[in-house]
Chain A
Amino acid sequence: MAELFAAGQQPDVLFWVGCAGSFDDRAKKITKAFVKILNQANVSFAVLGTEESCTGDPAKRSGNEFLFQMQAMTNIEVMNGYEVKKIVTTCPHCFNTLKNEYPGLGGTYEVLHHTQFLKQLLEEGKISIEGGKFKGKRITFHDPCYLGRANGVYEAPRELIRKLDAELVEMKNCKKQGLCCGAGGGQMFKEPEKGDKDVNVERTEQALETQPEIIAAACPFCNTMMTDGVKSKEKEASVVVMDIAELIANAEDL
Chain B
Amino acid sequence: MNYLPNIIFLIILAVGIGYFVNNIKKLRRNIKLGKDIDVSDNKPQRWKNMTRIALGQTKMVVRPVAGFLHIIVYVGFIIINIEVLEIIIDGIFGTHRIFAPLGTLYDFLIASFEILALLVIVAVILFWIRRNIIRLQRFIKPEMKGWPKKDGNLILYIELVLMLLFLTMNAADYQLQQLGAAHYTEAGSFPVSRFIAPIFEGLSLSTLIVVERTAWWLHITGILIFLNYLYFSKHLHILLAFPNTYFGKLGPKGKFKNLDAVTQEVKLMLDPSADPFAAPAEDAADPEKFGASDIMDLSWVQLLNAYTCTECGRCTSECPANQTGKKLSPRKIMMDTRDRIEEVGKNLDANKGKFEDDGKQLLDDYITREELWACTSCNACVEACPVSIDPLSIIMDMRQYLVMEQSAAPSDLNNMMTNIENNGAPWPFNQMDRLNWKEEL
Contacts and interface: CB of A to CB of B under 8 A. Distances in A.
A56 B324 contact: no
Interface string A130-155: 00000000000000011001111000
B416 A186 contact: yes
Nearest to A71: B420
Contact of A62 (B323, B399, B435): B399
A53 B426 CA distance: 10
B321 A53 contact: no
B141 to A, nearest CB: 14
Contact of B376 (A63, A152, A176, A183): A183
B440 interface: yes
B252 A152 contact: yes
A70 B400 contact: no
Contact of B437 (A22, A59, A69): A22
B413 A145 contact: no
B254 A151 contact: yes
B435 A69 contact: no
Contacts of A21: 437
Interface string A27-68: 010011001100000000001011011101011111111110
A151 B256 CA distance: 12
Interface in A190-207: 190-199, 201-203
Given A58-B426, A62-B403, A67-B420, A23 B377 contact: no
30 contacts: A19-B425, A21-B437, A22-B436, A47-B435, A52-B424, A54-B424, A62-B416, A69-B262, A73-B270, A96-B254, A100-B254, A100-B255, A145-B378, A145-B379, A149-B253, A149-B378, A150-B254, A151-B252, A152-B252, A178-B380, A180-B378, A182-B320, A184-B377, A190-B416, A192-B326, A193-B370, A193-B373, A193-B374, A196-B324, A203-B320
Contacts of B269: 70
B425 A186 contact: no
Given A195-B321, A199-B324, A176 B383 contact: yes
Contacts of A183: 376
Of listed B254, B318, B433, residue having the most chain A CB within 10 A? B254
Interface stretch (B78-86, B131-139, B279-287, B404-412): B404-412
Nearest to A180: B378
A233 B434 CA distance: 33
A187 interface: yes
A35 B441 contact: yes
B396 A22 contact: no
Contact of B434 (A52, A70, A190): A52
A50 B432 contact: yes
B303 interface: no
A6 interface: no
B328 interface: yes
Interface of A: 17, 19, 21-24, 28, 31-32, 35-36, 47, 49-50, 52-54, 56, 58-67, 69-71, 73-74, 77, 96, 99-101, 104-105, 145-146, 149-152, 176-180, 182-199, 201-203
A176 B378 CA distance: 11
Contacts of B163: none
Of listed B269, B415, B420, residue having the most chain A CB within 10 A? B420
Of the four ranges (under 10, 10 to 19, 20 to 34, 35 or more), the interface on chain B belongs to: 35 or more
A60 B266 CA distance: 14
Of listed A53, A62, A69, residue having the most chain B CB within 10 A? A62
A176 B383 CA distance: 7
B32 interface: no
Contact of B410 (A59, A61, A101, A190): A190
Nearest to B328: A193
B375 interface: yes
Nearest to A185: B377
Contact of B380 (A35, A61, A62, A180): A180
Nearest to B402: A63
Contact of A69 (B266, B291, B383, B416): B266
Contacts of B26: none
B427 interface: yes
Interface string B291-323: 100000000000000000000000000101101
A188 B378 CA distance: 13
Nearest to B418: A67
